[in-house]
Amino acid sequence: MLKKEWELKKIKNKSKINQDFKNISSVILKVLAQRNIYKKKDIETFLSPQYEQLLDPFLFTQMKKAVQRIKKARKNKEKVLIFGDYDADGITSSAILKIVLDDLGLESEVYIPDKEKEGYGINWQAVKKYLDKNFNLIITVDCGISNFQEVKKINQAGGEIIITDHHHIPSKIPDALAILNPQLEKQKEKGYPFSELAGVGVTFKFAQALYQKLLPEKEEQLKWLLDLVAIGTVADCVPLLKENRILVKYGLIVLSKTRRKGLQKMLQVGRIKIDENNFPTTEKISFQIAPRLNAAGRMKHARWAFELIFSQDLVQAHNLALEIETQNQARQKITQQIVKEIKIIAQNSFQQKSFIFVANQHYPIGIVGLIAGQIADYFQKPTAVLHKKEKISVGSFRSIPGVNIINLIEKLDYLLERFGGHSQAAGITIQNKNLEEFYEKLNKLIEQEIQKKKTKPILEIDLELLPKDIDYQLAQDLQKLEPFGEGNPEPIFLTRKLKIESLRWLGNGEKHLKLYLSNSLLKNKLLEAIGFNMNDKFQNLKSGEEIDLVYNLHTNNWNNETRIQLRIIDIKKSKD
């Protein structure tokens, strides 16, 4: 793993730091200033986001047309096909739209493609079978914007399609009845003003519009969908700012008291402590809930995860939760094996390259994105991992800050069968005969981008704190900045010259580092610090040494006692 350089963030306009808040720590105000939040109104909105601040869904330029089409389908008792995606964002989107259409009294079915056999996006052969069964209206969730040809065939067959998606807008836009995509909206003069919604966020906006116009008496029930919105939004790594921040904040509240039998059973089987006394965090969604939902699509079929979320039968939910737990454990084992293998390949073959690119028939298509993410993070290089078939390869990309991978891939679209994604994550289908040329050209584009932006592995630190600044009140105040995630990372702090009074390695395999630290400014107090899975990084540390510590500031509850805990990110020996 590349060692990251420490870099303290700068506050562009220190004079603009708001001093109007007497009840908010100066540390919090400095962190907000670093995130360009200075104005009193913006600070209040950020610290206390309100559900009522959600934007009007009819600001989507084609929302009215989409709602009118559903109204017509309801009147004519039409059958509707919901065509979803196989990741947590797509699964939660599919479940929400199914719930809404059920409430409206529409007959609908959900189709989620097989990741390995069908790949991402609309599968014409699957849709055709539904058209033949008089499902004349198709609604996509979290996909569809790249399916120009498939939409053309649907139109020719007499079907109609509404696309709800949030992915990159290709050069050719499908001729759909209506398209709800915030990326498309930002290209318009008066489009929807927030472009960073996840697929599930777009689906929720559609749900809002449908309840407003067609089911106003049940509009308050929408809030009970927010547990699914939070899961899909966090899982898809969109920025947790503005509207996403509101959706996730209230979604976590709903998740703490979720009524869904399937989610309850998944939490129980997975030993994930979430309830009103153990409030959920975005971290629990990212590392415990989303991987389990994604495991279904990666190892077998995403339908398992959809049925789990949708199930209201306790026995069925329990059995589905057990199956998904098994699939998740298998996914973890295979992922570890392949990551280890690719690390060796990368060290031998890509050390002098700016871009890691591996394709192998033994890499399961369901987990190539996960693997690419771990490799990209380890080497701090954009990475692609592909499942190689006889004539074509299908795979996923993960990038690094400063390299917009989808923009670079689009420049080479003439070498691809299909592609799509975001700035930091993308997928492609490519003929094997084009692999070498594609790699060489994309590597060159990435090199140019890195040289232009001078990207290097950096650990950005929000603020340097003195030991006396670290107290329980500050740890509590930091919770006002939650929910943390993409676009709103948990603040990172640096404190220098802390003496190691005690050092222990804990857990199975002694992977976790526990420190007790002192400083003359702390008088007789000790600071507790813990670092998880750090046995390969800091084995040379010794008691009595002075260190500079980079950390997140937390509180830890143990045996009914709450105390401050520093969550270790990095350590350097102090300079004299």
DSSP string, 322-338: HHHHHHHHHHHHHHHHH
Tell me how far apart the alpha carbons of residues 467 and 497 are, in angstroms, rounded to a whole number. Answer: 9
Tell me how far apart the alpha carbons of residues 228 and 255 are, in angstroms, rounded to a whole number. Answer: 8
Least confident of 3-12, 135-144, 287-296, 439-448: 3-12
Tell me how far apart the alpha carbons of residues 378 and 358 are, in angstroms, rounded to a whole number. Answer: 15
Query: Is residue 334 over pLDDT 90?
Result: yes
> What's the average model confidence in pLDDT over 9-36?
79
Query: Is residue 487 over pLDDT 70?
Result: yes
**Full set of structural domains in the chain with CATH:** 5-48+460-573 (2.40.50.460), 57-256 (3.90.1640.30), 350-456 (3.10.310.30)
554 and 542 Cβ atoms separated by less than 8 Å: no
What is the pLDDT, as a whole number, of residue 16? 66
What is the pLDDT, as a whole number, of residue 338? 96
The model's pLDDT over 173-190, given as tens digits with 9 standing for 90+, comes to 999 999 999 999 988 888
Query: Is residue 121 over pLDDT 90?
Result: no
Q: Which of 182, 130, 121 is nearest to 148 (CA)?
A: 121
Tokens linked to 149: 């040809």
- The more confident residue out of 82 and 380 is 82
Tell me how far apart the alpha carbons of residues 362 and 306 are, in angstroms, rounded to a whole number. Answer: 27
Other beta carbons less than 10 A from residue 59's beta carbon: 15
What is the pLDDT, as a whole number, of residue 2? 61
Least confident of 18-27, 141-150, 287-296: 18-27
> What's the average model confidence in pLDDT over 486-493?
93
Whole-angstrom CA distances from 510 to 506, 534, 550 are 5, 9, 21
Per-residue pLDDT band for 454 (boundaries 50, 70, 90) equals low
Query: Is residue 559 over pLDDT 80?
Result: no
Contacts for 558-565: CB closer than 8 Å, 24+ residues apart: 562/472, 563/472, 563/528, 564/470, 564/471, 564/472, 564/475, 564/527, 564/528, 565/528, 565/529, 565/530
Q: Which of 557, 31, 471 is nearest to 279 (CA)?
A: 557
Whole-angstrom CA distances from 121 to 98, 235, 367 are 18, 18, 17
309 and 228 Cβ atoms separated by less than 8 Å: yes
Q: Which of 414, 322, 428 is nearest to 369 (CA)?
A: 428
Q: Which residues of 546-566 are buried (b: 16+ CB within 10 A; e: fewer)?
A: bbbbbbbbeeeeeeeeeebbb
Tokens linked to 185: 């909206």
Other beta carbons less than 10 A from residue 153's beta carbon: 15
Tell me how far apart the alpha carbons of residues 395 and 435 are, in angstroms, rounded to a whole number. Answer: 12
What is the pLDDT, as a whole number, of residue 108? 97
Per-residue pLDDT band for 156 (boundaries 50, 70, 90) equals very high
Tell me how far apart the alpha carbons of residues 368 and 358 are, in angstroms, rounded to a whole number. Answer: 10
What is the pLDDT, as a whole number, of residue 107? 97
Tokens linked to 522: 């702390």
Q: Which of 271, 232, 265, 266 is nearest to 248 (CA)?
A: 232
> What's the average model confidence in pLDDT over 118-133?
91
The model's pLDDT over 90-108, given as tens digits with 9 standing for 90+, comes to 999 999 999 999 999 999 9
The residue written with tokens 């969908």 in the block is 225
Per-residue pLDDT band for 268 (boundaries 50, 70, 90) equals very high
Whole-angstrom CA distances from 459 to 131, 383, 569, 570, 573 are 52, 20, 9, 9, 16
Q: Is the dihedral of CA 211, 217, 223, 227 positive or negative?
A: negative
The model's pLDDT over 187-242, given as tens digits with 9 standing for 90+, comes to 888 899 999 999 999 999 999 999 999 999 999 999 999 999 999 999 998 999 99
Tell me how far apart the alpha carbons of residues 176 and 139 are, in angstroms, rounded to a whole number. Answer: 10
What is the pLDDT, as a whole number, of residue 535? 79
The residue written with tokens 């105390």 in the block is 563
Tell me how far apart the alpha carbons of residues 179 and 185 are, in angstroms, rounded to a whole number. Answer: 9
Positions of E strands within 45-120: 79-83, 107-111
Query: Is residue 407 over pLDDT 70?
Result: yes
What is the pLDDT, as a whole number, of residue 555? 87
Backbone angles phi, psi at 204, to 5 degrees: -65, -40
Tokens linked to 489: 């990372």
> What's the average model confidence in pLDDT over 437-453?
90
DSSP bridge pairs for 420: 427
The model's pLDDT over 345-381, given as tens digits with 9 standing for 90+, comes to 999 999 889 999 999 999 988 889 889 999 999 999 9
What is the pLDDT, as a whole number, of residue 322? 95
Label each residue of 442-509 as H, E or C.
Answer: HHHHHHHHHHHHCCCCEEEECEECCHHHCCHHHHHHHHHHCCCECCECCCCEEEEEEEEEEEEEECCC
Contacts for 158-164: CB closer than 8 Å, 24+ residues apart: 158/131, 159/127, 159/131, 159/135, 160/69, 160/136, 161/137, 162/66, 162/69, 162/137, 162/138, 163/139, 164/93, 164/97, 164/139, 164/140, 164/199, 164/202, 164/203, 164/206
What is the pLDDT, as a whole number, of residue 461? 95
